[in-house]
Chain A
Amino acid sequence: MNRPSQPSVAPALSQRLANAPWWLLVLILIGLFAVFQILTNERSTTIFNAISRGVIVTVRTTLIAYVVALVIGLAVGLARTSSNKLIYNVASFYVEVVRGIPMLVLLLYIAFVAVPLAMDGLNRLGVVLGSAWLSALTPRNFPNEWRVVVGLGVAYGAFESENFRAGIQSIERGQFEAARALGMSYFQTMRFVVLPQVIRRILPTLGNDFISMLKDSSLVSVLGVEDITQITKLYASSTFLFFQAYSILAFIYLTMTVLLSRLVRWMELRLARGRR
C-alpha cells in the first residue's frame, strides 16, 4: 500500500472519502430534515407536540425499571456465583425462565397474571392479619405503569444478572484470596474489592442495556401505558396521519438512542484511557 520511498504520507483523498462515515452524514441530513419539518410544518408541529408529551413516561418507566433491573441483577448475579446450592439453583431458575420467554409475553404475564395473583395473596394475608387495607387491595390499586416497571425490571434483571455474574467470575482468584486473607467478610470483599472492579469492566454493557431497555419500553404500549409509542398509535389511528406520526416517533427514539450510545462510547473511551 505504502511505497517505501514515502513512509507516513496521509492516505489519498479518494481513500479518505471511501472511509468517511457516510451513514452518519445521511443520518444527520435526515435528522435535519425532520427537525426542519417539525419546526415549519404546522401539522408536524402538532404531531410532535402530541407525541413528545409521552417522552416523560417513556424515560420515567425506563429509568425506574432500569434501577429495579440493576438491583435484581446484582442480587441474582451474586447468587449465581454462590457456593450455596439452594441459592444458586433458585437464581438459575429465575434467569433461565425469564430469558426463555419473549419480553412481550413476559410483560403481559406479569401485568395480567402475576400482579392479580400477588394481590390475591395480599388479600388473604390481610384477612389473616386482620388488616382492612391489605384485604381491600385490588389489582386496580396497582397502576399499569407500575406493572410495566416490574415487568421490564424482572425481564432485564435476568440479563443484568448475567453481566454481573460474568464480571465477578472475570476477577482473578487472587483478589478474593487477598481480601479474605486480610479477614474481610464475604460482603466486605464484594463491596470494597470485587464489585468496584466488576463495575468498571461491565459499565459499557450496562450502558448498552439501558439503550436496549429504552427501546423495549415501547412494548408497554400494549398495556395501555401512555408512552410515546402508545400516544402515536392512538394519534395515528384517529387522524390517519400514519406516515408523519410514525416517522416522528422513530425520529424521537433514534435521537434518544444515538445520543445515549455516544455517551456510552465516551464512557468506554474514558475507562480505557484511565486505569483499570
Chain B
Amino acid sequence: MIIIRNLVKTFGAVRAVDDVSLDVPKGSVTVILGPSGSGKSTVLRCINHLEEPTNGEIIVDGLRMTKDSKSINAIRAEVGMVFQQFNLFPHMTALQNIMLAQRVVRKRSQAEVRDIALQQLARVGIPEKADSFPNQLSGGQQQRVAIARALAMHPKIMLFDEPTSALDPEMIKEVLDVMLELVASGMTMVCVTHEMGFARNAASDIVFMDHGKIIERSAPAEFFASPREERSRAFLRQILH
C-alpha cells in the first residue's frame, strides 16, 4: 500500500530522516517507535507530503508522489491523518469539520456529506456532539472528531502522529478504543505513538527508529520479548522502567 525507498529529509544541516526504506502492506498496522527526534514523525509527514522529501521515492497506492500539487492533493484525499494537536477548525462545529473536505474535495452532495458525517461521529461514539464547537469539547472528544473527519473521506490509509500525546491520561483510552476498532475493521494504518500497550496488541509490525534510521523492524511479540538491537533494548528499558 505504501512503499518508501531511500527516503532522506534534511532540515538545514540536520538529517532528520536518513535513508529510510519501508513497505506497508494493505491492511497492516505499522507502529513506529523511537526516542523523540528520531525522525519518526517526519517519515509519517513525508508520506502525505506535508514535508517534501529531500530525496528518495514514496509510492502510495500505486501512485508515485511528485511535486505536482494536483497529484499530491489527490493522494492526500486517500490518506487520512490525525495530529497530536487535533487541529480541528475552531470556527466550525464538529459536524461542519467532518463535512467540509467531503464537500469541497470529494464533491459529494450536501445530503450525502451530512449522512456520512453523522455516521462517522456515531462510529467514534459522540453523535450527540454534532453541533458543538471544538472549544466546547474535551481533548479526547476533539481527537475523536478529528478521527471522524479523516475517516469521512473514506481513506485507504490512516496516519496517526502521536494521537494521544496531548491528552490527559483519562482520555487516552477513549481514543485508543476508536483506533482499535479501526484496526479490527482492517484499515491500513501507520502510527507514531508512545502507547506501548497499543503497539503490542494492535501492531502487525514494529519499526524502531533512532537518529533518522530504521534500527529494527520486527513483529510486536518478538520486539517486546527479545529485541535484536542494543539500541532497541535500551529504549525499551527506559520506556518500561
Asked if A1 CB lies within 8 Å of chain B CBs, one says: no
Provide the bound-state CA to CA distance between A193 and B149, in Å.
14
Question: Is A140 in the interface zone, CB < 8 Å from B?
Answer: no
A196 interface residue (CB < 8 Å to B): yes
The range of chain B's interface size is: 20 to 34
- Complex CA distance for A172 and B150, rounded to whole angstroms: 19
User: Which residues does chain B contribute within 8 Å of A179, judged by CB atoms?
Assistant: 89, 101
Q: Once the chains are docked, how many angstroms separate the CA of A175 from the CA of B80?
A: 15
Whether, in the assembled complex, A200 has its beta carbon less than 8 Å from a beta carbon of chain B, the answer is yes
From B135, B150, B153, A276 is in contact (CB under 8 Å) with B135
User: In the complex, what residues of B have CB within 8 A of residue A182's CB?
Assistant: 76-77, 100-101, 105, 149-150, 153
Contact code string B150-177 (vs A, CB < 8 Å = 1, else 0) = 1001000000000000000000000000
Q: For the complex, what is the distance from the CA of A186 to the CA of B73, rounded to whole Å?
A: 10
B83 contact from A178, A183, A197, A276, Cβ within 8 A: A178
A interface, CB within 8 angstroms of B: 172, 174-175, 177-186, 188, 192-193, 196-197, 200, 275-276
The CA-CA distance from A174 to B86 in the complex, in Å, is 8
Q: In the bound complex, do residue A183 and residue B87 qualify as a contact, i.e. CB atoms below 8 Å apart?
A: no
The main secondary structure of chain A at its interface with chain B is helix
For A185, the closest partner residue in chain B by CB is B73
**In the complex, are the beta carbons of A275 and B149 less than 8 A apart?**
no
In B60-80, the 8 Å CB interface with A consists of 69, 73-74, 76-80
Q: How far is the CA of A178 from the CA of B87 in the complex (A)?
A: 6
A180 CB contacts on chain B under 8 angstroms: 50, 76
A200–B90 alpha-carbon span in the complex (Å):
11
CA distance A180 to B52 in the complex (A): 13
List residues of B whose CB falls within 8 A of some A CB.
48, 50, 69, 73-74, 76-81, 83, 85, 87-91, 100-101, 104-105, 133, 135, 146, 149-150, 153
Residues of A within 8 A of B89 (CB): 175, 178-179, 193, 197
Shortest Cβ distance from A178 into chain B, in angstroms? 4
Cα distance, A36 to B113, chains bound together (Å): 61
B150 contacts which chain A residues (CB < 8 A)? 181-182
A192 contacts B76, CB within 8 Å? no
What distance in Å separates the Cβ of A202 from its nearest Cβ neighbour in chain B? 14
Do B83 and A174 touch across chains, with their CB atoms under 8 A apart? Answer: yes
A196 x B91 contact (CB < 8 A): yes
Whether A183 and B77, one on each chain, are in contact in the complex, defined by CB atoms closer than 8 angstroms, is: yes
The residues of A that contact B90 with a CB separation of less than 8 Å are: 197, 275-276
Given contacts A177-B50, A178-B87, A183-B73, 10 further A-B contacts (CB under 8 A): A172-B87, A174-B87, A178-B81, A179-B89, A181-B81, A181-B150, A183-B153, A186-B69, A192-B100, A275-B90
Known contacts A193-B89, A275-B91, A181 near B135 by CB under 8 Å? no
A182 to B100, CA, bound (A): 9
Known: A182-B77, A182-B149, A275-B133. A177 touches B87 (CB 8 A): yes
CA distance A168 to B150 in the complex (A): 24
Known contacts A174-B85, A275-B90: A188-B76 contact under CB 8 Å: no
Alpha-carbon distance between A188 and B70 when the two chains are bound, in angstroms: 13
Kindly provide the distance from the CB of B74 to the nearest chain A CB, expressed in whole angstroms: 7
Q: Which chain B residues lie closer than 8 Å to A172 at the CB level?
A: 85, 87
A154 to chain B, nearest CB (A): 31
Closest to B106 in A: A183
- Please indicate the chain B residues that have their CB under 8 angstroms from the CB of A275 in the complex: 90-91, 133, 135
Q: Which residues of A contact B74 (CB under 8 A)?
A: 183
CB-based contact B76/A181 at 8 Å: yes
Residue of B nearest to A175 (CB): B87
Complex Cα distance, B104 from A183, in Å, reads 9
Q: CB distance A181 to B50 under 8 Å?
A: yes
| Min CB–CB distance B9 → chain A (angstroms) | 16
Per the bound structure, the CA–CA distance linking A178 and B77 in Å amounts to: 12
Q: In the complex, what's the smallest C-beta–C-beta distance from B43 to chain A, in angstroms?
A: 15
Which residues of chain B are within 8 angstroms of A196 by Cβ–Cβ distance? 91
* Bound CA span A276–B91, Å: 7
| Complex: A151 Cα to B200 Cα, angstroms | 67
